[in-house]
Amino acid sequence: MSHDPNCLFCKIAAGEIPSTKVHEDEEFLAFRDIRPAAETHVLVIPRKHLPTLSNCTENDAPLLGRMLVLVARLADQLGVAYTGGETGFRTVINTGPGGGQEVYHLHAHILAGAASVATHGLIARPRVFTAL
Q: List the domain boundaries for the chain.
A: 8-121
Find the catalytic residue in 3, 107, 109, 120: 107
Q: Which has the minimum average pLDDT: 37-51, 70-84, 109-123?
A: 109-123
Contacts of 76 (CB under 8 A, 6+ apart): none
Cα–Cα nearest to 49, from 106, 8, 122: 106
The partner residues of 29 in beta bridges, in order of sequence, read: 24, 45
Question: Read out DSSP for 57-98?
Answer: -GGGHHHHHHHHHHHHHHHHHTT-S--STT---EEE---SGG
- pLDDT tens, position by position, 75-117: 999 999 998 888 899 999 999 999 999 999 999 999 998 765 5
Domain formed by 8-121, architecture? 2-Layer Sandwich (3.30)
Predicted confidence at residue 17, as pLDDT, reads 97
Task: Name the DSSP letter for residue 59.
Answer: G
Does the active-site annotation cover 41? Answer: no
Predicted confidence at residue 2, as pLDDT, reads 81
- pLDDT tens, position by position, 8-24: 999 999 999 999 999 99
pLDDT confidence bin for 30, thresholds 50/70/90: very high
